[in-house]
Amino acid sequence: MTGVAVIGSGNIGTDLMIKVLRLSTSLRMVAMAGIDPASDGLARAARLGVATTSAGIDGLVAMPEFADVGIVLDATSAGAHHRHAAVLREHGRLVVDLTPAAVGPYVVPPVNLDQHLREPNVNMVTCGGQATVPIVAAVAAVTPVAYAEIVAAIASRSAGPGTRANIDEFTVTTARALEVVGGAGRGKAIIVLNPADPPMLMRDTVYCLCPDSGADRERIAVSVREMVAGVQEYVPGYRLKQDVQFASTVDGLLVTVFLEVSGAGHYLPAYAGNLDIMTSAALRTAERMVALRAEVAA
């Protein structure tokens, strides 16, 4: 089994650790690094027998356990990841980046993971990107998408300091991923932090404007449903809220898809589907990256 280190002891990092410990048969949780010695994540890691440091990336590479780490999952911030990426590259470690830094290529597992398995550093885009890029790609697989717009609405309680610090990067990174990975000619992303109590589940609305007003609507709907099933393989709480909607406009065919994402409840509450889809995608990506290298070594 390949050793894993998680950087970031907040909600996302802690959920990642729990997922590795509970779900993975190919990854072994070795260390967690944070910068807040009083964080629940570091305390929980210590109770679970995972080596910890509150000295961040410098503390991680100085730990004797670091020698057993083959892949690092970074759940910090876009700003911090740039330095983390440089340090880990010097040490020859694989990296899965859960920040919007996008040092490496964007990866959305059911769309383009196979294309980037050999990369040393891959980026998980954003929660909105993981939820909506697959839908845009599904539509684009049937007919060109001139413009894609997504609205990601998440519970305010599920947006911690890291998520809030990355809000600006969220919109830019998600919009770019709609184009680069999803295949849209132009993309736009909007995020809404909903303060409702009790907290709402993550809701995503995807709009695709297709110039071909005569595009096969049934093929588009089938493609979307198949993509949803692909995401559900690693995010069971990902689902369509209703049938795919179609409307004829002066600019072409407007395809609208409504999604809901609930979390698995490993560490985070069910309403934090926005965080769960990121950690689930990261786990699948890390497992596939190490599996490829194990096959090559064999």
Which residue out of 32, 72, 85, 127 is catalytically annotated? 127
Kindly report, residue by residue over 227-240, the tens digit of the pLDDT. Answer: 999 999 999 999 99
Task: Look at residue 160 and tell me whether its pLDDT is greater than 80.
Answer: no
CATH of 2-124+278-297, one of 3.40.50.1820, 3.20.20.70, 3.60.15.10, 3.40.50.720: 3.40.50.720
How high is the pLDDT of residue 96? 98
Is position 10 annotated in a ligand binding site?
A: yes
Kindly report, residue by residue over 49-62, the tens digit of the pLDDT. Answer: 999 999 999 999 99
Structure confidence at residue 127 as a pLDDT band (50, 70, 90) = very high
Mean pLDDT of the chain: 95
Is position 121 annotated in a ligand binding site?
A: no
How high is the pLDDT of residue 159? 83
Give kind and range of the element (H or E) at residue 73: strand 69-74
Distance CA 98, CA 17 (A): 13
Is position 64 annotated in a ligand binding site?
A: no
Give yes or no: 127 in active site.
Answer: yes
Is position 230 annotated in a ligand binding site?
A: no
Percent of all residues in the chain with a pLDDT value above 90, rounded to a whole number: 91
Task: Look at residue 279 and tell me whether its pLDDT is greater than 90.
Answer: yes
Specify the DSSP class assigned to residue 21: H
Distance CA 215, CA 142 (A): 8
User: In angstroms, what is the C-alpha Rg of the chain?
Assistant: 19
Distance CA 16, CA 14 (A): 5
CATH of 127-269, one of 3.30.360.10, 3.50.30.30, 3.40.920.10, 3.40.190.10: 3.30.360.10
Is position 165 annotated in a ligand binding site?
A: yes
Backbone angles phi, psi at 207, to 5 degrees: -115, 125
Over residues 275-289, the mean pLDDT reads 97
Domain spans, the chain: 2-124+278-297, 127-269
Is position 24 annotated in a ligand binding site?
A: no
Is position 34 annotated in a ligand binding site?
A: no
How high is the pLDDT of residue 78? 85
Structure confidence at residue 285 as a pLDDT band (50, 70, 90) = very high
> The tokens of 198 are what?
């009790």
Among 102-111, 159-168, 241-250, where is mean pLDDT lowest? 159-168
pTM comes to 0.94
Smallest CA-to-CA distance from 262 within 184, 176, 202 is with 202
Kindly report, residue by residue over 60-102, the tens digit of the pLDDT. Answer: 999 999 999 999 999 998 889 999 999 999 999 999 999 988 8
Is position 161 annotated in a ligand binding site?
A: yes
Kindly report, residue by residue over 7-23, the tens digit of the pLDDT. Answer: 999 999 999 999 999 99
Task: Look at residue 107 and tell me whether its pLDDT is greater than 90.
Answer: yes
Contact 126, 162 (CB under 8 A): no
